[in-house]
């Protein structure tokens, strides 16, 4: 079953500071993702990988195109659905780990993790409980749970991001280079947690730079180039960027 159909997705940025020029982030991107599939998104720096995930999570409003998501009940166009629907999906269906943790001043790590749940209407106590459970599983030292991520190391921030993404027990998980700053041992713990956590029906769209990780985890690979889809290939045929 197809869970996600991305159809003609485009994102242009109006750069008012640059005399109203436009920067193209995504240009007419289309692909499908099947239920339970692990789809890797690769491509050079600036090719649009993060913009793609942000459009799927609706951190960015796409300029054009549709994102048909078949979640629990019925089909929703993630590109155009209302903000309330977006909030609800973030609380119980779609998880997102950003490439860089957005600085939210004076919000403790546990609350960063619990935030999508609380904003989607889950009880605060239960959301915090869930946050602590995940921070513990990802080996974030307990004394940091109530501290501000602004002072955290890159790897600690990445684990806060990953915990936030896993918090809603998502059917669709969007990961933007979730393990790039982790040392091998912590990366292994994070990937093990992902493995143990991901059910057969969890669908993942993940951006990865490391082709070893792509080979280890992905079913198919979408290659982006300059905002466009260059190729969609089975992971076994992906040769780590030598596609052109
Ligand atoms: N908020 C924004 N405003 C203006 N331009 C943006 C914005 N976000 C992304 N872009 C531009 O869109 C293009 C794609 O950026 P994006 O961050 O999606 O690339 P990426 O493939 O994730 O790169 P990297 O591997 O370095 O993370 C770049 O030219 C970038 O400058
Ligand atoms: Mg990026």
Task: Give dist(CA 39, CA 204) in Å, integer.
Answer: 6
Phi-psi region of 64 (alpha: psi -120 to 50; beta: other; left: phi over 0): beta
Helix (H, G, I), strand (E, B) or coil at 16: helix
Decide: 154 in ligand 1 pocket, CB within 6 A.
no
Only one residue has tokens 């998880």, namely 95
Residue whose CA lies nearest to ligand 1 atom number 5:
13
Q: For residue 82, is it within any domain?
A: yes
Q: What is the mean pLDDT of each successive set of 10 residues along the chain, which is 244 residues long? A: 96 86 95 95 95 97 97 90 95 92 83 94 95 92 94 89 92 91 81 77 88 83 96 88 47
Domain span holding position 218: 2-237
Q: Exposure of 12 by Cβ count < 10 A (0-12 exposed, 13-18 middle, 19+ buried)?
A: middle
Quick one: pLDDT at residue 103? 67
Q: Residue 25: CB within 6 Å of ligand 1?
A: yes
Q: Is any atom of ligand 1 closer than 6 Å to the C-beta of 23?
A: yes
Cα–Cα distances (Å) from 186 to 66, 68, 77, 119, 191, in that order, read 37, 35, 36, 29, 9
Q: What is the CATH number of the domain that holds 102?
A: 3.40.50.300
Domain assignment present for 242: no
pLDDT score of 60: 96
Domain total in the chain: 1
Q: Residue 79 domain-assigned?
A: yes
Instruction: Give yes or no for residue 155 CB within 6 A of ligand 1.
Output: no
- The answer as to whether 217 is a domain residue is yes
For residue 105, tell me if it sits in a domain: yes
220-225 and 228-234 as β-strands: parallel, antiparallel, unpaired? antiparallel
Nearest CA-CA partner of 26 in 228, 208, 231: 228
Residues in a beta bridge with 81 = none
Name the residue of 13, 52, 223 to mutate for ligand 1: max ligand atoms within 8 A of Cβ: 13
Distance separating the N- and C-terminal Cα atoms of the chain: 31
**Dist CA 186 CA 143 (whole Å):** 18
- Residue 35 CA to residue 70 CA, distance in Å, equals 9
- Which residues of 124-194 form beta strands (DSSP E)? 172-176
CA 25 / ligand 1 centre spacing (Å): 6
- The per-residue pLDDT for 26 is 98
* C-beta 50 within 6 A of ligand 1: yes
| Atom number in ligand 1 closest to CA 209 | 25
Closest Cα to atom 17 of ligand 1 = 50
3-state secondary structure of 9: strand
- Which pLDDT belongs to residue 154? 85
Q: Which ligand has the nearest atom to the CA of 18? A: 1
Give the closest ligand to the alpha carbon of residue 27.
1
pLDDT at 68: 98
Q: Is there a domain that residue 39 lies in?
A: yes
Query: Three-class SS of residue 238?
Result: coil
* Residue 243 resides in a domain: no
Q: Is residue 244 part of a domain?
A: no
Whose alpha carbon is nearest atom 12 of ligand 1? Answer: 25
Q: Which two tokens stand for residue 219?
A: 């079913």
The verdict on pTM exceeding 0.85 is yes
Is any atom of ligand 1 closer than 6 Å to the C-beta of 222? no
Angle at 87 between CA 33 and CA 115, to 5 degrees: 105
> CA neighbours within 13 Å on the CB side: how many for 174?
20
């Amino acid at each position: 079953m197809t869970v996600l159909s991305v159809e003609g997705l485009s994102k242009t940025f109006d750069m008012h500071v640059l005399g109203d020029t436009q920067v193209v982030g995504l240009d007419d991107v289309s692909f499908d993702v099947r239920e339970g599939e692990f789809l890797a998104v690769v491509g050079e720096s600036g090719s649009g990988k993060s913009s793609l995930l942000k459009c799927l999570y609706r951190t960015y409003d796409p300029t054009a195109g549709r994102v048909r998501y078949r979640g629990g009940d019925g089909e929703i166009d993630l590109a155009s659905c209302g903000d309330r629907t977006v909030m609800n999906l973030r609380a119980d269906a779609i998880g997102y780990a950003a490439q860089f943790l957005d600085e939210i001043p004076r919000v403790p790590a546990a609350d960063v993790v619990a935030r999508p749940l609380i904003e989607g209407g889950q009880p605060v106590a239960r959301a915090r409980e869930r946050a602590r459970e995940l921070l513990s599983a990802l080996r974030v030292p307990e004394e940091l749970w109530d501290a501000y991520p602004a002072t955290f190391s890159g790897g600690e921030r990445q684990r806060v991001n990953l915990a936030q993404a896993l918090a809603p027990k998502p059917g669709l998980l969007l990961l933007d280079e979730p393990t790039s700053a982790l040392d091998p041992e912590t990366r292994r713990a994070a990937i093990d947690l992902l493995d143990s956590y991901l059910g057969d029906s969890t669908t993942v769209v993940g951006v990865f730079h490391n082709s070893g990780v792509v080979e280890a985890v992905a079913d198919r690979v979408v290659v982006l180039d300059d905002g466009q889809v260059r190729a969609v290939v089975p992971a076994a045929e992906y040769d780590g960027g030598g596609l052109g």
